[in-house]
Chains A and B, each alone.
Chain A
Amino acid sequence: MALFAELRRRNVLKVALLYVIASWLMLWFVAVTSDALELPAWSYNALLITLAIGFPIALLFAWTYEFTPTGLKKAIDVDQTQSIVYKTGQKLNAAVAVLLVLGLLAMLGKGFMPKFEFILPGVPEGDAPTSEKAPAEIRSLTLDNGLKIIVWPDHDIPNVVMYNFVRAGGRNEYPGITGLSHFFEHMMFNGTDDLEPGEFDRVMEAAGGANNAYTSKDVTVYQNWFPTAALETIFELEADRMENLAIVPEVVESERAGVYSERRTSVDNNNFSRLFEQVFATAFVAHPYQFPVIGWPSDIEAWTIEDLENYFRTYYAPNNSTIVFTGAVTPGDIFELADEYFASISVQEPPADIRTVEPEQRGVRRLLIETDAQTPLLHMAFHAGSAADSQTLPMTLLLNILAGGDSSRLHRLLVEDQQTAIDVGAWQHQGFDPSVVYFYLTLPPGGDPGAVEATVLTELERVAGEGVTAAELAKAQSILLADFWRGLATINGKAAALGDYEVFHGSFEALFEHPDRVETIVADDLRAAAAQVFRRTNMTVGVLQAPATEADQ
């Protein structure tokens, strides 16, 4: 007890406390500033070791020496009646208090430590939207390497959605590598220098996350859905595969078999997809939209490791991607993590533009697939504009009127009244480049594709001449507006919509102009779009049906 009392008297305990707190602050400071000051990686450990060695020395010093009005003296030499250890102790207490407050402020956020700001640049806050229509809480930021990040905080549920839009799809392919974009989407889950194939998914699922991806004719999109707690894990995983993807020959072969299996299910054993593939291959003679996203069978079997490596270098660059986060996050957290994980990924030469423009079609094109089928299929494609084309929105409204649901013109006519079709739908491929408006019909067994085609054409020509009624337009506008709100009711829908507008319409902010744009469309815009697109010379017709038997001849 006497020793403990003497330790207290000589302020050794206070010095120990002060030393620990000061050391902790120094270590913290080095850790947070090491990147900005470009300190070598060993600095932190060196400081830690130095401080650890210094600890007993400091204690010994405190035990041995004592401050006096005449300077530093050995404690045993000090006349105890003249000792000012009490005053020194008060100073030490004050120092401990000051450092503790500083430390707590530091823990609460770097923003509380203004003296760091000139050394360590603050986390960028990102840009707020300029449009008044856009929710004010959205932030966007483009890193120095060209990667654009958009964040829409929404704390309704404790989850986050991340979409990474990579501008690489079927249109970036050519004969010999068709399907490579889609194959690459699979390879992105197949391991890096550090992670074995399958590990990406295992780590993500163990953290509570799930993922998927899809490839279209224009883009490849990677989707992650996860609880907020998994945020940093997701950053680690995504940065790792962007920087360190492994392209291992055995893995490529296993995945090749998997993709072939996907083709068998989604195309070869699916009459709709077989016809769809052939209609695109016929409607386009020059532009790469003619290639199936899954790839031609011979290309799936033949692409090489070198093709994959070239493709990765060219397209999987930060300057060719846009990442969207929605959900229970703050822009500050996202930008800080992005700075830590994505900023070091190096910029690449931008991919070459797609130069080929599809020449104008000057006559109807037809194709027939004869196969085992009870229900004949009829597909009709007409060349139209790109996603960003001003005629695309009127066309979307028009297609709604023609084939959107049970009250649409073609459904009423063909499915309900004539019963010459059991199903009819319409869709416009909205991509970077001009593509097609697509009608797809399923006929009852024994149905006559020629007769149905003629009926559809008559209806399309009618709308090109007479236009639509005010009530029809109002209905289509209501449906589009309701769809807009439905899309924004989930964090997933928000991420999809933000990314879609950023990538295909030039800015995510355009998303929020959509309701107004829908309202300003007039009936004649629809008629004009119909007149331009629904021409026989602009049409490709595909039919799939059972081969004619002798009895039919």
Chain B
Amino acid sequence: MMRSPRGLVALLLYVACSVSFAQGITLPDIERIELENGAVLLLHEKHDVPLIGVQAIVRGGTVSDPEGMAGLSSLLAGLLQKGAGDRDSAQFAEAVAAVGGELSAAADLEGISISGEFMSRDAALMVELLADMLQRPELDADEMAKLRDRSINFIRAAKDTNLGALVPLYGAAFLFGEHAYGNPLEGSEESLARIRHRDLLGYYADHVGADRSVIAVVGDFEIAAMTELLTSAFAEWRKADAEPILIAPPAPEPGRRVLLVDKPGATQTYFWLAGPGVAVDYPQRAELNIANTVFGGRLTSMLNNALQLESGLTYGARSTLTRPSLPGSVAIYSFTKTESTIAAIDMAIDVLEKLFAEGVSGDLLDSAKNYILGQYAPRLETSAQLAGAASYLEHMGLDAAYINDYGPAITAADSETITAVINDVYPQPDELVFVLLGDAELIREDVARYGPVTEIAITDPRFRP
């Protein structure tokens, strides 16, 4: 089909390709400064647009929420923006908006992160606002009550409108049981209602401080000037009162079981099939990501191919790996109309069996490698993304090699190792935990075939049955 000159062009492109792929997966040199109080500053200049990206992470997050108060760190994150330093809640929001900035805080499983992006001319204001949020938040009781009630109502609104997003919350709770990894990031209606103002103040004193924080700033500034700004803003920050909370690795109960979340009137069933996974430091990350790309991580994945393209049972099926600092989860997620619930779930299990049987080799292996390498560079394109990546690595105790060695590791991955990784990481079909959200009356009997069924109403104020 191709004439020789075009073949030649293709050859040249192929050579260029291996060069450019490698080029996309490197973290630029980041300047690292550790202050005496333990706070770590990470800086890098990038001058293509007049913007500065920032991300600060305070270790802690959902796993450090006090017993029965899931969502406390999330509530605290929200409250950091509701007045800090000399500004009350309205003034703080006004200060950010007046310069067209963005600054927001959120909690995740193992930390509270504050991300922002400002025009470079507003660098000093950005640092001032960030320092105020972390060191001088008002934590006003009325603001807290308001935000807590609003957060509870957001969960109720999601139960009306955003069912797909809720399924992993029920899933984590069911898979990990009482372990902290099973707690919903933003809490449940029940756990949020239990949080009082003094709990929040106590948590802030105990768990927010310089000794467990990293601040990464990337963008259009001079390193010397930014270092001075950050040093003077954070050098006096106190350490947190309590030691960081260490949790034991989760030990999910093995064996099949089913959680059925009843949403009367739902016309489709959302399903999440999962098992225990691995931690962020899993050594064969490249092989695992190749396996997951092929299994359920892209448009032409095995799951999407079977459930969407070939059968039309859904319009999206995927598999996700959750890799916190201790072993997380591997999950298959999709949805289908109520009548085809069993057909779709059975098909997903068949695809999992096929992954074990066939592994990843030949053209498919090459395709997955090209896909991962070809899609990587845009993830480290902007200042905000680079600040996010740099702070994440520091926060998780990883170094630049995590990114810089990734490309070569993908290139070098072979199908034998991938097969071993699949066997090591993915749950066997008879070990899956099932979480289904749909109209229970219509599917209750059918889904009992997958294991003992626990039922919870969508109106129940908890995610954990």
Say which size band chain A's interface belongs to. 35 or more
Q: Mark A208-235, 1 if CB is under 8 A from B, else 0.
A: 1111000000000000011111111000
From residue 470 to 505 of chain A, which have CB atoms closer than 8 A to chain B? 471, 474-475, 478-483, 485-486, 488-492
User: Interface with A: B178-186, B194-202, B309-317, B423-431, which one?
Assistant: B309-317
Residue A350 interfacial (CB < 8 Å): no
Residue A82 interfacial (CB < 8 Å): no
Q: Mark B95-133, 1 if CB is under 8 A from A, else 0.
A: 011111110000000000000011100000000000000
Measured between beta carbons, the chain A residues less than 8 angstroms from B3 are: 31, 44
Residue A201 interfacial (CB < 8 Å): yes
Chain B interface secondary structure, helix, strand, loop or mixed? helix
B16 near A485 with CB under 8 A, answer no
Residue A372 interfacial (CB < 8 Å): yes
Report the nearest B residue to A207, measured CB to CB: B370
From residue 217 to 275 of chain A, which have CB atoms closer than 8 A to chain B? 225-232, 253-262, 264-265, 268-272
A479 near B97 with CB under 8 A, answer yes
With contact pairs A261-B268, A480-B100 given, residues A485 and B90 touching in the complex (Cβ less than 8 Å): no
Residue A159 interfacial (CB < 8 Å): yes
B300 near A201 with CB under 8 A, answer yes
A258 near B312 with CB under 8 A, answer yes
Residue A205 interfacial (CB < 8 Å): yes
Q: Mark A421-448, 1 if CB is under 8 A from B, else 0.
A: 0110000000000000000001011000
From residue 142 to 180 of chain B, which have CB atoms closer than 8 A to chain A? 146, 149-150, 153-154, 156-157, 159-164
Q: How far is the CB of B44 from chain A (nearest CB, A)?
A: 14
Measured between beta carbons, the chain A residues less than 8 angstroms from B24 are: 157-159, 227
Q: How far is the CB of A191 from chain B (nearest CB, A)?
A: 11
Q: How far is the CB of B186 from chain A (nearest CB, A)?
A: 14
With contact pairs A474-B98, A485-B50, A489-B382 given, residues A444 and B164 touching in the complex (Cβ less than 8 Å): no
B119 near A485 with CB under 8 A, answer yes
With contact pairs A31-B5, A158-B21, A442-B157 given, residues A265 and B268 touching in the complex (Cβ less than 8 Å): yes
B377 near A227 with CB under 8 A, answer yes
A478 near B100 with CB under 8 A, answer yes
Residue B290 interfacial (CB < 8 Å): no
From residue 319 to 362 of chain B, which have CB atoms closer than 8 A to chain A? 335-337
A422 near B305 with CB under 8 A, answer no
A481 to B17, CA, bound (A): 36
Name the contact of B100 in the complex, choosing from A197, A423, A481 (C-beta under 8 A): A481
From residue 451 to 487 of chain A, which have CB atoms closer than 8 A to chain B? 471, 474-475, 478-483, 485-486
Q: How far is the CB of A155 from chain B (nearest CB, A)?
A: 10
A265 to B315, CA, bound (A): 9
From residue 86 to 126 of chain A, which have CB atoms closer than 8 A to chain B? none
Q: How far is the CB of B337 from chain A (nearest CB, A)?
A: 6
A490 to B311, CA, bound (A): 36
With contact pairs A205-B299, A261-B336 given, residues A485 and B49 touching in the complex (Cβ less than 8 Å): yes
A372 near B146 with CB under 8 A, answer no
A412 to B377, CA, bound (A): 40
A-B contact pairs, 28 of them (CB 8 A): A32-B5, A157-B24, A198-B305, A205-B367, A205-B371, A208-B375, A210-B299, A210-B371, A210-B375, A225-B378, A226-B374, A227-B377, A255-B312, A262-B315, A271-B161, A371-B265, A375-B160, A405-B97, A406-B97, A407-B96, A416-B90, A478-B100, A479-B100, A481-B100, A482-B102, A482-B117, A485-B49, A485-B50
Which residues of A does B touch, CB under 8 Å?
27-28, 31-32, 44, 156-159, 197-198, 201-202, 205-211, 225-232, 253-262, 264-265, 268-272, 328, 371-375, 404-407, 412, 415-416, 419, 422-423, 442, 444-445, 471, 474-475, 478-483, 485-486, 488-492
Given contacts A157-B24, A259-B315, 8 further A-B contacts (CB under 8 A): A229-B17, A258-B308, A258-B312, A375-B156, A419-B146, A419-B150, A445-B153, A478-B98
3 nearest A-B pairs in the assembled complex, by CB-CB distance: A208-B374, A482-B100, A229-B17
